[in-house]
Amino acid sequence: MRFHLGTTHIPGIEGDPLPLLQGLRQIFPRPVLPNPPEALLSQMDEKLNPRDFAGKRIALGVGSRRIAGLAPLVRAAADKLKSFGAAPFIFPAMGSHGGGQARGQLEVLEGYGITQGAMGVPILSETEVERIGALPTGTPVYLSQTALKADGVVVINRIKPHTDFKGPHESGLVKMLCIGLGNHPGATALHSEGFDRMAQVLPQAAAVILGRLKLAFALAVVENGYEETAAVEVVLPPDLMDRDRELLVTAKGLTARLLMPRIDLLVLHRIGKDISGAGMDPNIVGRMGSGLSEGFAQVPPIGRIAVLGLSRGARGNGNGIGLADVCTRSCAEAVDWGDTYTNCIASTVTGPAKLPMVFETDRLAVLGALRTIPRITPLTARIVVIPDTLHLGEIQVSPGVVEDLGRREDVEILSAPQEMAFSPSGELLGKLL
């Protein structure tokens, strides 16, 4: 998609002073598992009986999220299953992501280093599903034919707060069973119930699926607020519902957040489907595409949000761009609107695909956004700059934010204020990783 911005004119903006920023470290609880693959192998030896796997085709379902150390965990699980005498293979469990197409979902896996060569097992990317039952409302429940044909299935997912609803089961093992394994038709059908009913829908759908699926075990991953593995757990089928609920409580206690009391302008270097299901995590920014707000973690009020880019791992899925107030031309032009709309139609949430105000450069996006906020100037605005909503440890803030934070023990000042620096072409310099 091309944008003609030649007529855009903001009187006097070239003379606006540039904001001041300084480095800040936010400190969160940081339990870290030293060797996740080793912990996984130990649990598989402890909890699984090799005789239950010998000679069987075991399907490892892997989703679309960027999970810390995902490829080594998948490889470890595959290797251990082979040592049990099984014939493991990998398949995408992504609902409508990757455009809801086999090739697109395979490319998502490849972006995480999950290839046949690296994993040492075949990867089958197929989108055919079978209707296996229905919810009490009559909504059909679908399941991947690849999963149904296997002798056993392993679901692998991170457990974390969901971006659009709250309940006992959010983003985790149950959601992977119901949404991920349903491919595009399954994701679309269950989302048609609406996010306001998702807390009830997931357990209902899971009951139908667990009655048909030959679930061997699940692998749950919990991360800390620094995108590091805090825990991995092999979960046996009888314990899946309870552990998914309990580990969600653990995950919520480790979630990073923005600690300041208020923000005039939040600048994100990037958004992306690999970063959050909503592109930018509503649990961090407080803007929900679903329109629901009950139960979301408290976040500071944010006046404006500016997005400078789309992550490579998003593979063009621009879901979440509509939660911003402004973005750059390069960000908007990086969006594959077909994949984005496919995802939004499946989820029944349209707001995250809307186009915000588009500015030619990073510099104009920042200054243009500031121009829309009443009663502040670039030098008085409370500005927070973050890499994305997954990385909130080391960030940049304006002096007004530092003043608001006071002498908190969970923040550390890293540098003195400096003028926000841009290249001659308007690109923000010193971008955070």
Domain C-terminal end among 254, 283, 305 = 254
- Tell me the two tokens of residue 266: 């939040």
pLDDT the model gives residue 432: 63
For the stretch 252-255, contacts whose Cβ atoms lie closer than 8 Å and that sit 24 or more positions apart, written own/partner, are: 252/161, 252/297, 253/29, 254/28, 254/29, 254/31, 254/222, 254/223, 254/224, 254/225, 254/230, 255/160, 255/161, 255/225, 255/283, 255/297
Residues 322 and 189 in one domain: no
Q: Are 243 and 265 in the same domain? A: no
What value does the mean pLDDT of the chain take? 92
In this predicted model, what pLDDT tens digit does every residue of 5-27 receive, in sequence order? 554 678 888 889 999 999 999 99
Residue 221 has a pLDDT of: 98
Q: How far apart are CA 425 and CA 362, in angstroms?
A: 9
Give the 3-state secondary structure of the chain: CCCCCCCCCCCCHHHCCCCEEEEEEECCCCCCCCCHHHHHHHHHHHHCCHHHCCCCEEEEEECCCCCCCHHHHHHHHHHHHHHCCCEEEEEECCCCCHHHCHHHHHHHHHHCCCCHHHHCCCECCCCCEEEEEECCCCCEEEEEHHHHHCCEEEEEEECECCCCCCCCCCECHHHHHHCHHHHHHHHHHHHCCCHHHHHHHHHHHHHHHHCCCCEEEEEEEEECCCCCEEEEEEECHHHHHHHHHHHHHHHHHHCCCCCCCCEEEEEECCECCCCCCCCCCHHHHCCCCCCCCCCCCCCCCEEEEEECCECHHHCCCCCCHHHCCEEEHHHHHCCCHHHHHHHHHHHCCCHHHCCCEEECCHHHHHHHHHHCCCCCCCCCCCEEEECECCECCEEEECHHHHHHHCCCCCEEECCCCEECCECCCCCECCCCC
Q: Which domain holds residue 404?
A: 13-28+256-419
Report d(CA 259, CA 247) in Å as an integer: 24
For residue 232, the domain's CATH number is 3.40.50.11440
Q: Is residue 86 part of a domain?
A: yes
Q: Is residue 324 part of a domain?
A: yes
Residues 119 and 201 in one domain: yes
Asked if residue 40 has pLDDT above 70, the reply is yes
Same domain (yes/no): 311, 246: no
Domain closes at, from 254, 278, 311:
254
**Same domain, residue pair 250 and 260:** no
How far is the C-alpha of 267 from the C-alpha of 334, rounded, in Å? 18
What are the pLDDT digits (tens) for 225-255?
A: 998 999 999 999 999 999 999 999 999 999 9
Model pLDDT for residues 317-338, shown as the tens digit of each residue: 999 999 999 999 999 999 999 9
Confidence of residue 209 (pLDDT cuts 50, 70, 90): very high
Arithmetic mean of pLDDT, 158-176: 93
In a domain, residue 74? The reply is: yes
Based on the domain organization, do 93 and 185 belong to the same domain?
yes
**pLDDT grade for 294, boundaries at 50, 70 and 90:** low
Domain annotation covers residue 2: no
In a domain, 118, yes or no: yes
Domain end, chosen from 238, 254, 270, is at 254
Q: Which residues of 394-425 are buried (b: 16+ CB within 10 A; e: fewer)?
A: bbbbbbbbbebbeeeeebeeeeebeebebeee
In a domain, 113, yes or no: yes
Q: What per-residue confidence (pLDDT) applies to 342?
A: 87
Phi, then psi, of 308 in degrees rounded to 5? -100, -20
Query: Quick one: 137 and 162 in the same domain?
Result: yes
Q: What confidence score (pLDDT) does residue 99 get?
A: 77
Q: Identify the CA nearest to 397 among candidates 264, 281, 224, 227.
A: 264
Residues 248 and 299 in one domain: no
Report the pLDDT averaged over residues 102-127: 93
pTM of the model: 0.85
Could you tell me if 353 and 214 lie in one domain? Answer: no
The number of beta carbons lying within 10 Å of the beta carbon of residue 246 is 15
**Contact at 8 Å (CB) between 92 and 185?**
no
What are the backbone angles phi and psi of residue 184, rounded to the nearest 5°? -60, -45
Residue 433 falls inside a structural domain: no
- Report the pLDDT value the prediction gives residue 321, as an integer from 0 to 100: 96
Chain position carrying tokens 């595009």: 184
Residues 56 and 203 in one domain: yes
The span from the CA of 274 to the CA of 85, in Å, is: 34
Please state the domain count of the chain: 2
pLDDT at 298 over 80: no
Q: Give residue 343's pLDDT band: very low, low, confident or very high (50, 70, 90).
A: confident
| Residue 1, pLDDT above cutoff 70 | no
Asked whether the predicted pLDDT for residue 53 surpasses 60, the reply is: yes
Same domain, 78 and 133: yes
Q: Is residue 92 located within the same domain as residue 182?
A: yes
Domain assignment present for 8: no
| Nearest residue to 113 via CA among 305, 313, 277 | 313
Average pLDDT over residues 287-315: 85
